[in-house]
Structure formats: structure tokens, C-alpha cells
Structure 1
Amino acid sequence: MMELLKLVESLHLPDWWICAGFVRSIVWDILHNFEERTPLADIDVIYFDPKNIDEAADLFLEEKLSFLNPTVPWSVKNEARMHVKSNMPPYQSSVDAISKFPETATAIGVKLDDQDRIVLTAPHGIKDLINLEVKPTIHFQKKKERIAIYKNRINQKNWKLRWNQLKIHYN
């Protein structure tokens, strides 16, 4: 994980984080006493740059990371434009965007500070993550279309098949 954090850090992206499954899955693996890490569908790298919201920039960064480490399925997103896809007001930062992820246990990110120490952000705390609880963030609890997005994600991800101790909350 440190190698991947250092690779992303080397890009010098503004307000960058590796988030979601990168953190969540290893915590759940440890809490389930798995000896091997669960393979990730992708490594979610986010950053916040309102000066360049062209999606081509994200694709260029994915290619650059793939060149540096081709064994990793990179996914790079500038959160300065992702509010449109999520049908939400503009995000103010990457942490603001993370706070609006669908699940509390996924709304988590890590990065390195200028002394290569790990920095954690968890806008909804880590209680649900370490208690193996999957709950919608407040942004996915009230509007019908967002509730449906949350429920569809839970069904598509089928996390309970891998991590059988999870407690899934649907509202």
C-alpha cells in the first residue's frame, strides 16, 4: 500500500487521496482474518483541481500510473467535476466529495503528508468500517433516486459473499 501511495504522491496532484475500497477492503480482510488481501476491481485515486476539469486529464493520469505500475487497475477522478455525475451541488474539496460517497464504510481515504506519514480522512468516522456495518451516508438516505443508487450498489457489489460478517443496512 505504501508503494501505491508513493506512486500517487509522485504525481503532485492537488488535494489527492486514495480512497474507498483501497482502505475499506483491507480493514474488512483483517477483521475477517483473511491471510490474503482481497483483489480490488480498481484503485480509486481522487484529486481536486477546479482549473482543469477535462476528463482527458484523468485518463492521462491513469495512463501515467499504469506506466509506473501496470499491475494495478487505476481509476483517477477529479472531484471538481464529479458532482455533475452524482447530481449534487459542487464539491468544495476531495474530502467534501468523499463525505458524499454512498456508504459510510467506503467514505474513507488515505494519502501521505510531506514527511511520508499516512493521513486518514473519514468524514463519517470509522465506527461503521471497523464494526463491519454498511450504512448509507446521509446523502443517500432521503431522496428516492439516491436511496435506489445505494441499494443497487449493495446488490451489485455483493460484499457479503466475500465478507460474511458484514451487517448491511438498507435505510
Structure 2
Amino acid sequence: MTRNDLVPEVLARAAELNLPGWYLTAGCLCQTVWNAVTGRPPAEGVKDYDLFYFDDSDLSWEAENAVIEEGKRRFGDLPVMAEIRNEARVHLWYEARFGVPCAPYPSTEAAIDSFPSTTSCLGIRLDDRGEWQVYAPHGFADVFNLVVRPNPGRAPRSSYEAKARRWQEQWPELTVLPWPS
């Protein structure tokens, strides 16, 4: 991850936000690895840097938006799009966006577990000592071996297939496994 200079910088700034249960997660992590494995520039094709947190004390859009606005100030000088989301609120909008209901998540880790591809079920954050804490429920083999694996039962098939298509256009070396029948 340190080959992409933006990852440690985003992590450091995210830690300053002091958000509960936060992780830098998803595509920016596996895509940085794919770039390293395939010899591309470290940040090439990384669309956004997802920063998830979990705060169920206030599920209002106003509370989440205040964090998003603070993130814009924190990350505004970086050449990244930081997508900040309170995972405690996902169930409030998920069905309207993806066409299927989503039960409330009990934690950020549960939200990460629900990604369409197990390959991108990754999260990293800095602890109070500045040490990296990693959440990788499916390990790293698929990430380093350029395998995109579906996560059925956790996300809609259409989300998986759309992401897999987009990723394979950018990284044609990927092996995309089919959604199980």
C-alpha cells in the first residue's frame, strides 16, 4: 500500500477525523495492489478512496453530511476523491439505489463483509500509536493473484458484474469468476 503515496496520506488525515470504527476500504486498496503486481503507476485507475465509519448515535443525513464536509476540507488539496460514508445509515438508502433491501449493519466490518466481491473486502486504519490495523476477512490471496471473486448472498449480482466489468477494463489481467448459479 505504501507504493501509492496517497494511501498513507489519506490514512493519516482520516485518523485526524477521529471517526468511530473507521476504515479506508475497498477498491483503492486492491487496485493499488493490482497496479503493483502488474507494473502500473501506483494510483492508476483508482477512482476513489472510500472512508467508512460507524456512528449509530445520529442517523440523520445532516450528521453524516457534516463529516463529509469536514472530509472535503481535510482532503481537498489531495488529488483524490474521498468518499466518506456512515455505514450505520446504509440501510436507509440501499434499496432505493440497488433495488434490494439491506438490513442495518452492526459495524463497519459488517459493511465491508457485504461488498459484491470478496476480493475487495479489505480495510485498513491507523490505531492510536499510528500502527496499521488491517481487516481482511477473506485474506489477500485473491488480491495478489488478480482474482475477482463474487460474494453471493451479501450483495446484488448486478453490482458485482458492473464492478467486475469496470475493473477488468482497467486491469485486463484480472481473472473474474462468474456469479454462481
Residues 103-118 of structure 1: matches in 2 within 5 Å?
103-118=117-132
Please, what is the CA RMSD of the aligned residues? 1.8
- Separation in structure 2 between the aligned mates of residue 133 and residue 61 of structure 1, nearest angstrom: 34
| Structure-1-length-normalised TM-score | 0.87
1:115-134 deviation digits (Å, cap 9, x = unpaired): 11111111222221111111
> Which consecutive aligned stretches of 4+ in structure 1 deviate over 3 angstroms post-superposition?
none
Q: Give the aligned partner of residue 21 of structure 1.
A: 27
1:11-36 deviation digits (Å, cap 9, x = unpaired): 11100001011211111001101134
1:60-114 deviation digits (Å, cap 9, x = unpaired): 2222122122133121111111134162222111011100111111111110011
| Structure-2-length-normalised TM-score | 0.83
Q: Give the aligned partner of residue 148 of structure 1.
A: 158
Q: Give the aligned partner of residue 162 of structure 1.
A: 170
Residues 1-171 of structure 1: matches in 2 within 5 Å?
1-70=7-76, 71=78, 72-84=80-92, 85=94, 87-140=101-154, 146-155=156-165, 158-171=166-179
Aligned length: 165
- Separation in structure 1 between the aligned mates of residue 164 and residue 38 of structure 2, nearest angstrom: 19
Indicate the percent of aligned positions where both proteins have the same amino acid. 29
Cα 1:36–1:123 change in 2 (3 A) is closer
- Separation in structure 2 between the aligned mates of residue 39 and residue 148 of structure 1, nearest angstrom: 21
Kindly state the Cα deviation for residue 139 of structure 1 after the two structures are TM-superposed.
Answer: 2.4
- Separation in structure 1 between the aligned mates of residue 104 and residue 75 of structure 2, nearest angstrom: 32
Conserved 8 A contact 1:104-1:129: no
List gaps (5 residues or longer) in structure 2. Answer: 1-6, 96-100
Q: The residue matched to 1:26 in structure 2 has which SS?
A: helix
List gaps (5 residues or longer) in structure 1. Answer: none
1:24-53 deviation digits (Å, cap 9, x = unpaired): 111100110113421432211101111111
